[in-house]
Structure 1
Amino acid sequence: MVTEQHIEQFKQELLELKQELQQSIELAQDSAETVELDQTKTGRVSRGDALQQQEMAKAGLARDKQRFLNVIKALNRIEDDDYGFCMECGEPITVSRLEIMPEAEFCIQCMEKQER
């Protein structure tokens, strides 16, 4: 069961994670911008590599943006006294799951059901 002490600890972790994700998103947005290459000076391999790097940056940016939103939701659940309970079944989320993923919205069982 999640105690008030756990909630305070998770809140601090979420606030730190929020800040880290904000910085990561800001940095990644530059990397995900459109690649403009001078084809007369850049070979086919270099263009392909640059495009691959851009796609990887876009994927990382999308992942970070989604996690950022999940962190915001978790902080809101703390403020609303709903933190630590599964959004699907209403049962408590285990402390061990929240230690790994403090922004978790679902218990393991409900998450597994959603993934199927």
Structure 2
Amino acid sequence: MNEEEIKKKIDEEIVKTEKLIADYKEQSKPVTLDNSIGRISRMDAINNKSITESALRQAEAKLSKLHHAMDNIDKPGFGLCIKCKQPIPIGRILLMPESNKCVNCAR
């Protein structure tokens, strides 16, 4: 996979993650007290909000790492394992953009 294809994949992942962040922000809005839902439903909504906020933080961290990877893509050695010098699979780069080792060397 060449550099342009990797850039395209990272761009696609950035767009997807930004949409996910927007969805999480919408889902994590507080439940208003004037909403007439039961006590159990309100507790469930508060719990779901907490889970969504955690997912939001993880998505924001991933987005930051994807931007960092995009900034470094033009640097020599990007996408190569620092230990064995073999190419890091694009799936790993997209999942863990901060990775500088292949799966085998990261163990």
Q: TM-score range by the shorter chain?
A: 0.7 to 0.9
- Written as runs of structure 1 = structure 2, the 5 A alignment for 1:57-72 is 57-72=52-67
CA contact 1:37–1:47 (8 Å) conserved in 2: no
Which 10-residue stretch deviates more, 9-18 or 22-31? 22-31
Q: TM-score, normalised by structure 1?
A: 0.71
SS of 1:79 mapped into structure 2? coil
Residue number in structure 2 paired with 1:34: 30
Q: TM-score, normalised by structure 2?
A: 0.76
2: CA distance between counterparts of 1:93 and 1:37?
56
Runs of at least 5 residues in structure 1 that lack an aligned partner in the other structure: none
2: CA distance between counterparts of 1:72 and 1:93?
23
User: Among the aligned pairs, what percent are the same residue?
Assistant: 18
SS of 2:66 mapped into structure 1? helix
Residue number in structure 1 paired with 2:100: 106
Where relative contact order (Cα < 8 A, 6+ residues apart) is larger, the structure is 1
- Give the aligned residue type for 1:46: S
Runs of at least 5 residues in structure 2 that lack an aligned partner in the other structure: none
2: CA distance between counterparts of 1:28 and 1:71?
18
- Written as runs of structure 1 = structure 2, the 5 A alignment for 1:1-116 is 5-38=1-34, 41-86=36-81, 90-91=82-83, 92=85, 94-96=87-89, 98-102=90-94, 103-107=97-101, 108=103, 111-112=106-107
